[in-house]
Amino acid sequence: MCSLRGVWKFVTSHENLYDVVNMHLIALKICGDLFVSRNQRTGQLYVCWKSFASFIAQLICLILLVVGGYFAQQSHGMADATYLHHGTSILIRLSGVFAIVTSISNAIVGKRIWAILDCCDRFDKRMKMLNAPVDHRTQKLVIVGWTLLCSVGVTGFVLGFVFAILTNYANTLMQIVTIIQIIMFVMVIVSMMCQIVIVLYMASYRFYHLRRFYEVNFLPWKPASIMLSELANVNQFRRLSNSSLLSTVMDLYDLLREAMRLMHKAYSVQLLSMTVSNIPSPTLALFGMYRSFVTSNYDMQNLINTMAVSSLMYLMTYFLLIFLSTSIKYETQRLIESFHHFTNLNNVAFENMVKISADQINSDNIALHIGPTELNWKLAFSMLGTIISYLIILIQFDRTSVGTNSFPDVENVAWWSSNDTHAHMQTQLSIVSKL
């Protein structure tokens, strides 16, 4: 208990952000998702063979679990399994294939992670030399909070999956294979998400810090009171002619632009896989949850509901990446606006240099992209619209719903009622003719 309390006190009190980042990197090394390490003294990169062996073992286990899960389902699956059982098995196997692709992609980007962190570290050192240090404590507390929330959520979902599998699968081999496959899949996906979220958040915070630094040093001070309106003019003439400081601002922007370029190269495959998988997975999982509620067969309901909730949480995490990407673009646009707000009638040449720098920043495309498509809210709303549309289509064209089996056919009822009426009339006519 004392050790846990000491770790918590160290995390919350120490102001170095990179302590928390290194804790995440150590966890990635243990899991085998990062086998390229860096020497703290010399800064040289090297391959950690223990982490590399862990990566190879993880990859082999994922391949064996996907292939073995398929044959186990074919050999030990129930003969009277419904299409909900088959659909759930297909989703689990597709998740395994996605985990294999993600694991390989995570291992490839090892060098670029260190390059991204190096760009952020150089930015922080330059800001410290300018007496405008980056707030590491706030970033560290945010990352720690996200880590705790993610740990609780992942633990809850894994326990939910284990409970659902133990209650739904009767065969012991199927239970073991499915539980191990889901745990390894969760490890790979969570490690990927932690990497992207942390580096994107660090870049977003530094774009914000750069904009605030420029506004403080180049834009005139805006007084909150009318009594202090004269101070704005004094403040304006005192500041606006430092070309070396403007060059420093552009150098810092180049560092952040290089970090974003490395992120785009490092995580393009992961972002594409997430985008592609986030459309069919929630749609099929939500449709399966709907079918489990409207049918009388509830034996797969726990597993399907857990898969639906986990798919929605995975989609929400993807939206968090979109939020961070759009916040970076938003801060860049505000920086450009701040450049255009700069005026200095006493030094027109310097003012023109500021405007040229603004045009240079405007020509860069900082936000993350998936090929030609920018990672923004337009893409998020398009994905939501696609998921909802296909979910409605699946529900409307579901011919095995309860309504079809519970209610009689209207045409048959009308045909039988008309035949009964016709027979009754014939009987009445025959009686009248006899009379």
Q: Is residue 311 part of a domain?
A: yes
Question: Taking residues 51-72, what's their average pLDDT?
Answer: 75
Q: Is residue 115 part of a domain?
A: yes
Q: Is residue 285 part of a domain?
A: yes
Question: Taking residues 260-282, what's their average pLDDT?
Answer: 85
Which pLDDT score, from 0 to 100, does residue 85 have?
58
69-78, 103-112, 326-335, 406-415: the lowest-pLDDT one: 406-415
Which pLDDT score, from 0 to 100, does residue 22 have?
77
Choose among 280, 283, 305: nearest CA to 292.
305
Please tell me whether the overall predicted TM-score, pTM, comes out greater than 0.85 for this model.
no
pLDDT in tens, 7-38: 566 555 556 777 778 777 777 777 777 777 77
Which pLDDT score, from 0 to 100, does residue 234 have?
39
Burial zone of 427 (CB within 10 Å; 0-12 exposed, 13-18 middle, 19+ buried): exposed
What is the DSSP code string of 316-335? HHHHHHHHHHHHHHHHHHHH
Is residue 266 scored above 80 in pLDDT? yes
What is the chain's alpha carbon radius of gyration, rounded to the nearest angstrom? 31
Q: Is residue 426 part of a domain?
A: no
Q: Is residue 391 part of a domain?
A: yes
Q: CA 192 → CA 12, 26, 131, 376, 426, distances in Å?
A: 25, 14, 35, 20, 78
Is the separation of the CB atoms in 302 and 324 below 8 Å? no
Which pLDDT score, from 0 to 100, does residue 29 have?
79
Q: Tell me the two tokens of residue 19.
A: 């302590």
What is the DSSP code string of 153-184? HHHHHHHHHHHHHHHH---HHHHHHHHHHHHH
Q: Is residue 20 part of a domain?
A: no
Q: Is residue 82 part of a domain?
A: no
Is residue 424 scored above 50 in pLDDT? no
Domain enclosing residue 368, as ranges = 104-218+243-401
Helix (H, G, I), strand (E, B) or coil at 297: coil
Q: Is residue 343 part of a domain?
A: yes
124-128, 231-235, 280-284, 357-361: the lowest-pLDDT one: 231-235
pLDDT in tens, 150-184: 888 888 888 888 887 787 777 777 778 778 777 87
Is residue 434 scored above 50 in pLDDT? no
Give me the helices (H) in 219-242, please. Answer: 229-239
Is residue 432 scored above 50 in pLDDT? no
Question: Taking residues 89-111, what's their average pLDDT?
Answer: 74
Choose among 71, 331, 101, 48: nearest CA to 213.
331
**What is the pLDDT confidence band of residue 323, given thresholds at 50, 70 and 90?**
very high
Question: What is the spatial distance between Cα 395 and Cα 287, in angstroms, rounded to a whole number?
Answer: 7
Mean pLDDT of the chain: 75
**What is the pLDDT confidence band of residue 406, given thresholds at 50, 70 and 90?**
very low
Is residue 284 scored above 60 in pLDDT? yes
Which pLDDT score, from 0 to 100, does residue 123 have?
93
Q: How many folded domains does the chain comprise?
A: 1
- The type of residue at 22 is N
